[in-house]
Amino acid sequence: MNNNIYNGTQAHYIPQPVAKVKEKPEYSKAEVVLSVFAIIAAFAFVRYVLYYVMGFFTTGVFIAIITAAIVYMKKKGCKFSAFNKINAAVLYIFSFVFSITANNFIKDLNAIFLFGAGAYLVYSASAGNKDIERYLPFAVCKAIFEYPFSHFGKQAAITQDRLSKSKAGSNVKYIIIGLLITIPVTAVVASLLMSADDGLEEMLTDMFYRIFSDEIWEIILQLCLAVPCSMYLFGMLYANTHRDKIRPLEEQNCIKTLFSMRFISNLVMYTAVTPLCILYVMFFFSQASYFLSAFSGELPNGFTYADYARKGFFELFAVAVINLLVLCFISLFSKKAGKEKPFALKLYSVVLSIFTLILIATAMSKMVMYIDNYGLTELRVYTSWFMVLLALIFVLVIIKQFRYDMKFTKHLAVIFTLLFAVLCFSRPEALIAKYNIEMYRSGHLEELDTDAILRMSDDGLLAAFNEDAITVEEVNRNKKRIYEPYCYRKYNLSAMILDSKTE
pLDDT value, residue 444: 83
Q: Bridge partners of 4?
A: 11
pLDDT value, residue 367: 82
Q: What residue segments make up the domains of the chain, in order of their start?
A: 25-250, 261-416, 430-502
Per-residue pLDDT tens over the stretch 262-295: 888 888 888 888 887 887 778 777 666 666 665 5
CB neighbours of residue 78 within 10 Å? 20
pLDDT value, residue 11: 47
pLDDT value, residue 201: 65
Average pLDDT, the chain: 82
Evaluate whether 94 touches 110 at the Cβ level (below 8 Å).
yes
pLDDT value, residue 65: 96
Single pTM value for the model: 0.84
pLDDT value, residue 5: 45
DSSP classification of residue 12? P
pLDDT value, residue 174: 66
What contacts 454, CB < 8 A, 6 or more positions away?
461, 470, 474, 478
Q: Is 297 left (phi over 0), alpha (psi -120 to 50) or beta?
A: left
Residue 459 Cα to chain centre, angstroms:
23
Taking 50 as the pLDDT cut, the residues of the chain under it are 1-6, 8-11, 13, 18-19, 21
User: 305 to each of 56, 145, 150, 220, 412, how far by Cα in Å?
Assistant: 41, 46, 54, 52, 33
Evaluate whether 331 touches 258 at the Cβ level (below 8 Å).
no
pLDDT value, residue 373: 82
Element (H, E) at 41: helix 29-45
Range 88-109 burial, b when 16+ CB lie within 10 A, else e? bebbeebbbbbbbbbbeebbeb
